[in-house]
């Protein structure tokens, strides 16, 4: 089935985690693990072919459909939502067309630098309104607004990246404390901090969005944390 949808139309609402899959490099084994754990899979345009290559069927396909293989074949198998506007990326279309308690984005970074930058822009835009994570071959980046608490092993890499200028009030459990630091693109950033072993708490001054970046193996821990 297919449908046209404008940006102000009703979104698809899910009561479980959602994974939006793009056309970048995606681990098929991870997709199958997500599906086995009940995560909804949405193809952002050609990302549907990535889901198909993992032997899975997307719950829906959303985008301008300019890179989707065999659209007619897909329309007989799942819901295809065609959004022809060219103001936003397919990732943004999938974001404004869905609601979920947690949203993962796979295949949105790497491969093409412009797509990576566009994905980061979308994360900054939507972080205040939804729990959003970028997942690549190595890392998971959780968009955070406000404070966060989690566990980190001793010497575990904990990167804190500013999407825009943001000042941090305090931190505990990090080798390099964040107390009073202003992080900003083009200035001081928090790459490759480390846990001291045990609880970590990071407290910014306000709810400006920022990224917490951990190894991909921590994906399920972060899903539980948010």
Q: Are strands 103-106 and 18-21 parallel, antiparallel or unpaired?
A: parallel
**Please, which residues bridge with residue 98 across strands?**
12
As a whole number, mean pLDDT of residues 71-98 equals: 88
End-to-end CA distance of the chain: 34
Q: What is the pLDDT of residues 106-121, one digit of tens each?
A: 999 877 788 888 889 9
Q: What is the pLDDT of residues 152-193, one digit of tens each?
A: 999 999 999 999 999 999 999 999 999 999 999 999 999 999
As a whole number, mean pLDDT of residues 137-151 equals: 94
Task: Dump the DSSP string for 53-117.
Answer: HTT---SEEEE--SS-S-HHHHHTTSEEEE----SS-HHHHHHHTEE-SSEEEESSSSS-HHHHH
Q: What is the pLDDT of residues 38-62, one digit of tens each?
A: 999 999 988 999 999 999 999 999 9
């Amino acid at each position: 089935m297919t449908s046209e949808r404008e940006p102000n139309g009703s979104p698809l609402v899910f009561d479980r985690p959602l994974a939006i899959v793009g056309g970048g490099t995606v681990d098929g084994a991870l997709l199958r693990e997500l599906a086995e754990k009940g995560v909804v899979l949405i193809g952002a345009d050609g990302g549907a072919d990535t889901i198909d290559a993992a032997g899975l069927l997307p719950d829906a396909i959303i985008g301008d459909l300019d890179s989707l293989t065999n659209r007619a074949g897909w329309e007989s198998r799942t819901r295809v939502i065609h959004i022809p506007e060219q103001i936003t990326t397919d990732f943004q279309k999938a974001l404004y067309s869905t609601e979920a308690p947690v949203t993962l984005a796979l295949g949105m970074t790497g491969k093409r630098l412009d797509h990576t930058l566009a994905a980061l822009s979308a994360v900054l835009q939507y972080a205040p309104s939804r729990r959003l994570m970028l997942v690549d071959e190595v890392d998971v980046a959780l968009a955070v607004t406000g404070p966060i608490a989690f566990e980190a092993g001793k010497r575990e890499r904990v990167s804190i990246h500013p999407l825009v200028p943001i000042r941090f009030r305090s931190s505990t459990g990090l080798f390099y404390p964040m107390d009073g630091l202003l992080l900003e693109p083009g200035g001081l950033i928090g790459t490759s901090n480390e846990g001291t072993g045990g609880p970590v708490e990071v407290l910014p001054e306000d709810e400006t969005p920022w990224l917490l970046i951990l190894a991909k193996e921590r994906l399920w821990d972060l899903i539980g944390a948010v």
